Structure 1
Amino acid sequence: MTRPGRPAGPTDDTTTTVLTAALELLLTEGAAALTPQRLHTVTGVSRSTVYRHWPTPYAVLAALIDVAPLPSQEPTGDVAADLHREVDLLCNRLRDKPVGGFLQALIAAASLDPATAELRRRYVGDLLAPFHHALRAAGVARRDREDAVAAIASPLLVEALLLDRPAGRTRAHRTADEVLAKLELVRA
């Protein structure tokens, strides 16, 4: 038996409309623009729908992270090639909008709203997950994986997000090779 009333969630079209507009607002005006009233004004989606499903900028950011496409690649068995591929993908993501811009907006939002720091950590974790996956497939222990991913990816994040310059792809490839040599997974 079906009960009359409101549907459980917004339609796919409504979600796409709101989140597409939200991403554009985030990239051009920052997280403060992600209010239900502003999303209603920009999209024409009813205020009650926006308030019900995305009542706060935090909720909008969380929804954007949920739909962020991060293609997963299966490890090839060549851990060096896999890490080089992931370095290239991360460099490209940091260079291009919306990933680089989204991450910069998350960092800015987290400085104003401490709760958003959790979303920033989650998003960065999603960006770094393929590195962990490649190293896990090569049999690298968790603690060593954490150190290896930090050594490879941290300079890329610093360059792209703090220094506002292209991420050092060649240096990151070299670092990946050095990390693998220390882990005795490849020859130096």
Structure 2
Amino acid sequence: MTRTGRPAGPASDTTATVLTAALDLLLAEGAGALTAQRLHQVTGVSRSTIYRHWPTPNDVLAALIDVAPSPRRQPSGDLAQDLHAEIDALCDRLRDKPVAAFLRALVAADAGLRHRYVEDLLAPVQAVLRDAGTPRAAAEDAVAAIVSPLLVDALLLDRPTARARAHRAVDLYLTEAAR
């Protein structure tokens, strides 16, 4: 038996259209532009469709988080090399406009969304430590010590991430862990 009525979610092309426009609006105008009316204006997708699937700007942000890439490299087996590679990748992501602007928008948004997105950014660094057998508490401390200054640079100070400082933090962690 087939069911009639509306499908559970928007068509993939509608989702792509709305979310691409949402990211463009976020980068150009900030999170306040992620309203159904504004998305309708730039996409032509009906307001009712937008309201049905993304009722609030936070729902749009959550959908953008869902489609954000979360790259994971193949570990080399060398903890220092892998940590440095992930820190370089994170610095690059924080430098790029979509990630930095998205983080700024999330600062004013729902704390749960902000935590979810930051956890996605931290996941590759945590995975390197987990793959090396680092105990969970030690890995959390290491990630906080290494990554927190990068997030402060990107979010609060609006300056490029201090890649050299992050690499020094990795080296310091590795020295301490070897003791």
After TM superposition, the structure 1 = structure 2 runs for residues 118-133 of structure 1, keeping only pairs within 5 Å, are 118-133=112-127
1:151 aligns with 2:145: yes
Quick one: distance in 2 between partners of 1:72 and 1:65? Answer: 16
- 1:36, distance to aligned residue in structure 2 (A): 1.1
Residues 27, 105 of structure 1: 8 Å contact kept: no
- 1:74, distance to aligned residue in structure 2 (A): 2.6
Contiguous gaps of at least 5 residues in structure 1 = 111-115
Counterpart of 2:42 in structure 1 is: 42
Q: Amino acid of the residue matched to residue 36 of structure 2?
A: P
Q: Identity across aligned pairs (percent)?
A: 69
Counterpart of 2:89 in structure 1 is: 89
- 1:31, distance to aligned residue in structure 2 (A): 1.5
Quick one: distance in 1 between partners of 2:129 and 2:75? Answer: 9
Counterpart of 2:169 in structure 1 is: 175
Counterpart of 2:102 in structure 1 is: 102
Quick one: distance in 2 between partners of 1:15 and 1:100? Answer: 23
Counterpart of 2:128 in structure 1 is: 134
Quick one: distance in 2 between partners of 1:180 and 1:93? Answer: 23
- 1:85, distance to aligned residue in structure 2 (A): 0.5
- 1:48, distance to aligned residue in structure 2 (A): 1.4
1:138-176 deviations in Å (ceiling 9; x for gaps): 111011001000111111111122112111111111110
Quick one: distance in 2 between partners of 1:163 and 1:3? Answer: 53
Q: Pairwise CA RMSD of aligned residues?
A: 1.1
The TM-score with structure 2 as length reference comes to 0.96
> How many residues were matched structurally?
179
Please give the secondary structure, in 1, of the residue aligned with 2:116.
helix
1:52-78 deviations in Å (ceiling 9; x for gaps): 000101110100000001111132111
- Structure 1 ranges of 4+ moved more than 3 A: none
Q: Amino acid of the residue matched to residue 12 of structure 1?
A: S
Quick one: distance in 1 between partners of 2:67 and 2:156? Answer: 25
Counterpart of 1:113 in structure 2 is: none
The TM-score with structure 1 as length reference comes to 0.92
Quick one: distance in 2 between partners of 1:15 and 1:91? Answer: 29
Quick one: distance in 1 between partners of 2:28 and 2:47? Answer: 22
Quick one: distance in 2 between partners of 1:47 and 1:165? Answer: 37
Counterpart of 2:56 in structure 1 is: 56
Quick one: distance in 1 between partners of 2:28 and 2:155? Answer: 16
1:19 aligns with 2:27: no
- 1:25, distance to aligned residue in structure 2 (A): 1.1
